[in-house]
Amino acid sequence: MSDIQEHPASIAVTLPDGSVKTVPSGSTGLDIALSIGRKLAQDALALKIDGKTVDLSAPLHHDTSVAILTFDSPEGKNVFWHSASHIMAQAIEELFPGSKFGAGPAIEQGFYYDIASEHRFRESDLRLIEEKMLEISKRDITITREEMPRDTAIAYFTDVRKDPYKVEILTETLKDVATVSVYHQDKFTDLCTGPHLSSTSKLKAVLLTNISSSYWRGDSSRENMQRIYGIAFPSEKQLKEHVAKIEEARRRDHRKLGAELELFMLTPEVGSGLPVWLPKGAIVRSELESFLKEEQRKRGYLPVYTPHIGNIELYKRSGHYPYYSDSQFPPLTYHDEDGSQEQYLLKPMNCPHHHLIYSNRIRSYRELPIRLTEFGTVYRHEQSGELNGLVRARGFTQDDSHIYCRPDQLVDEICNAIDLTQHVFSTLGFSNVQTRLSLHDPENQAKYGGTPEVWEQAEKDVREAADRMGIEYFIGIGEASFYGPKIDFIVRDALDRKWQLGTVQVDYVMPERFDLTYIGSDGQKHRPVVIHRAPFGSMERFIGVLIEHTAGNFPLWLAPVQAIVLPITEEVHDYAAEVQQALLGAGIRTEIDTRSEKVGRKIRDAELAKIPCMVVIGQKEKENGEVSLRRHRIGDAGRVGLEALIEQLKTEITGRT
RNA sequence: GCUGAUGUAGCUCAGUCGGUAGAGCACUUCCUUGGUAAGGAAGAGGUCAUCGGUUCAAGUCCGAUCAUCAGCUCCA
């Protein structure tokens, strides 16, 4: 009896196009790539076997489906950047002996490595490390995989590599694993599951982008490590393209455009993280608010207003105060003459106020659902390092509604809220919205309010609604809020960072805490369920992301200045002023440029100001009672009658297209 | 909050070895009245983020604070 497996002499591999190739048993990915073509063999980075990525040098012994991974695939990029992080680590080890390495993964756009070193890395070091990395590439070092028992690996990383971080990973994270893999490249060895490139020579261009700090294992109670970020490519050309893309993204940055287009300002004179809306930004915001108010009116929402501060007892009762006391502005304390004291909180959220409105009188099952809505401004003392223009502020306005309904109405109401959110996103042209089902983490029950049974029901309801609405979602364990699961709508900004905008949340906990009730058909008190929902999320964040999404080229209905009248000579100023008045009279936000500049200059300035419609007026237009229209970024649209122009623009504005 | 970087005119940026500040754009005035992305000239504009220190002398060197940026941690 032998344990030795019988390998067939040849095996059949199925390629992604469905074709089947017969190769000798023991062939590697590289052999297969070579048998297809030289170019593919050159570009090949790794192999995907039955959905699992492996080294190009791994021998195949069974019939299987394979795909050759190149840099064009997400998996290929992942392998490439992961190896680049190892090459960076080797370069750092050679330049700064004694450096120890924590985690060094590939990320969405490149890679990083966390380093513990006596040396404080500076910007200038990055150039040195880049040079060293390219030198290591030129050395054409073969990267090899070795599997070893975990105990051997512990001894190796303790005695040879002397790297306490790798030892910690081996003894804790991998404590139940018998055999681990390490990758060698010259004198550098790293604990890693792989896969990796076959040689360092694949790396042709590298850019180390920044140095920052991180906590070992992401734990703020553990030591700080220095993290170096970078990105690498198989060719110089791809790096150049990447740099060009980053520059384009910087041009779209909402902080830059917000200042240039005079939408909002941020100044320490008002306070860090407290945006001030300038007249032009205020128009964008108020148009968005009107849009949502209109939709909500159609859907049976009831507007309310509540104060900006609230008695601290309100937040103790809701449970927010203990959960979030460190991210709130400190309470305002009011001392009465008789020595008694009251404390108020700058409101960090609107729900408690709305719950009190609900319980202002007895509610009947007949009047549910009740949908209270408010653009409620809230204040949260976010950590200073978190602040980021409009997308992360300390004072912001939520388009906050609370829907009080019977349990039998819940799924319908969640669906309605999802529908409204989708309507908002599609009207504003966000197509690549990701949806996350944010569930609680059963391992960490203490973080949440409510009983496990309540959570089970809530998560079942949320899932049912999401499925009924046919939305594609991914699950985020541990992303729920403390009072319930939620559905979050996530979009990316110009720099590809993710931001949560809309949200729909189910809450069985607050109704208990606020003793919310309604009288059922049986004459008895029952507990309603609450849905928290905000399609925009925060007006500030939404507009910040919208600015980047549109690059400041707002659709006509949102544009702060919708049209500008450009008279060519002083002789037509009178008629131009009439045209402006007619447009203003039709409710179109219109400016006029009567500077003594040439029309070319006026057009250039209007284009740079991203004004959607330029109305050019010369002698010919004046004589015929017409105007010449030029559309932003499109160009001359020809002459039309003034009335026809007004009709055309009004249709476009009311259609919100 | 943590690590690193940055802070000079409204904006974008120069400013050498420490010797009291410069450009372009924008702005104002004048000239110019020009047909689809920059007409010309002149002028005005700065407590060099703030506070303190070293020095005969600080935009420049040192320290603290504030703010901003990148990332980490956090996000009702």
Most confident residue range from A325-329, A491-495, A537-541: A537-541
Among A90, A185, A398, A580, the one annotated catalytic: A398
Active site residue A21: no
Q: What is the per-residue pLDDT for A8?
A: 63
One fold for both A276-308+348-550 and A563-655?
Answer: no
A144 or A247: whose pLDDT is higher? A144
User: What nucleotides of chain B have any atom within 7 angstroms of a protein Cβ?
Assistant: 1-5, 11-12, 31-39, 66-76
Give the pLDDT confidence of A403-442 residue by residue, as tens digits. 999 999 999 999 999 999 999 999 998 888 889 999 998 8
Nucleotide nearest to A347 (CA to C1'): B76
A335 — pLDDT class (breaks 50, 70, 90): confident
Delimit the domains of chain A by residue range. Answer: 10-70, 75-248, 276-308+348-550, 563-655
Q: Where are the alpha helices (DSSP H) in A112-163?
A: 123-138, 150-155
CA-to-C1' span, A268 to B49 (A): 11
Q: With 70 as the cut, is the pLDDT of residue A168 above it?
A: yes
User: What would the two tokens of residue A260 be?
Assistant: 């240039």
The enclosing H or E element of A509 equals helix A509-513
Among A196, A296, A351, A394, the one annotated catalytic: A351
- Residues whose CB falls within 8 Å of the CB of residue A125, separated by 6 or more in sequence, listed in order: A95, A119
A594 — pLDDT class (breaks 50, 70, 90): very high
Quote the CA–CA distance of A249 and A209 in Å, as a whole number: 15
Q: What is the mean pLDDT of residues A643-650?
A: 97
Kindly report which amino acid residue has its CA closest to the C1' atom of nucleotide B71.
A212
Which CATH code for domain A276-308+348-550?
3.30.930.10
Nucleotide nearest to A598 (CA to C1'): B34
Indicate the range of A129-138, A229-238, A442-451 predicted with least confidence.
A442-451
Nucleotide nearest to A274 (CA to C1'): B67
Q: Is A155 helix (H, G, I), strand (E, B) or coil?
A: helix
CA-to-C1' span, A100 to B17 (A): 40
Q: What is the per-residue pLDDT for A6?
A: 58
Sign of CA dihedral A69, A70, A72, A77: positive
Active site residue A196: no
A494 — pLDDT class (breaks 50, 70, 90): low
Active site residue A86: no
Give the pLDDT confidence of A223-271 residue by residue, as tens digits. 888 899 999 999 999 988 888 888 888 888 999 999 999 999 999 889 9
Q: Is A341 helix (H, G, I), strand (E, B) or coil?
A: strand
CA-to-C1' span, A635 to B30 (A): 33
**Which one-letter DSSP state was computed for residue A77?**
H
Q: Is the ipTM of this complex over 0.85?
A: yes
Nearest alpha-carbon partner for A142 in A105, A94, A180, A183? A183
Kindly report which amino acid residue has its CA closest to the C1' atom of nucleotide B40.
A597
Nearest alpha-carbon partner for A115 in A98, A136, A127? A98
8 A C-beta contact, residue A13 and residue A20? yes
Domain A563-655, architecture per CATH: 3-Layer(aba) Sandwich (3.40)
Give the pLDDT confidence of A354-378 residue by residue, as tens digits. 999 999 999 999 999 999 999 999 9
Q: With 70 as the cut, is the pLDDT of residue A1 above it?
A: no
How many degrees, rounded to 5, is the angle at CA A113 between CA A108 and CA A116? Answer: 155
**DSSP track, A174-201:** TTT-SEEEEEEETTEEEE------SBGG
Among A355, A532, A610, A622, the one annotated catalytic: A532
Give the pLDDT confidence of A273-304 residue by residue, as tens digits. 999 999 999 999 999 999 999 999 999 999 99
Supply φ then ψ for residue A488, to 5 degrees: -110, 140
Among A82, A202, A380, A392, the one annotated catalytic: A380
Q: What is the per-residue pLDDT for A3?
A: 47
Indicate the range of A49-53, A61-65, A298-302, A492-496 predicted with least confidence.
A492-496
Which CATH code for domain A75-248?
3.30.980.10
Q: What is the per-residue pLDDT for A225?
A: 87
Active site residue A532: yes
Nucleotide nearest to A384 (CA to C1'): B1
CATH superfamily entry for domain A10-70 = Beta-grasp domain (3.10.20.30)
**Which one-letter DSSP state was computed for residue A542?**
H
**Which one-letter DSSP state was computed for residue A597?**
S
A525 — pLDDT class (breaks 50, 70, 90): very high
Quote the CA–CA distance of A137 and A17 in Å, as a whole number: 33
8 A C-beta contact, residue A364 and residue A518? yes
Active site residue A351: yes
CA-to-C1' span, A264 to B4 (A): 29
CA-to-C1' span, A165 to B62 (A): 37
Active site residue A380: yes
Nearest alpha-carbon partner for A202 in A55, A104, A301? A55
**Beta bridge pairs of residue A53:** A48
A41 or A396: whose pLDDT is higher? A396
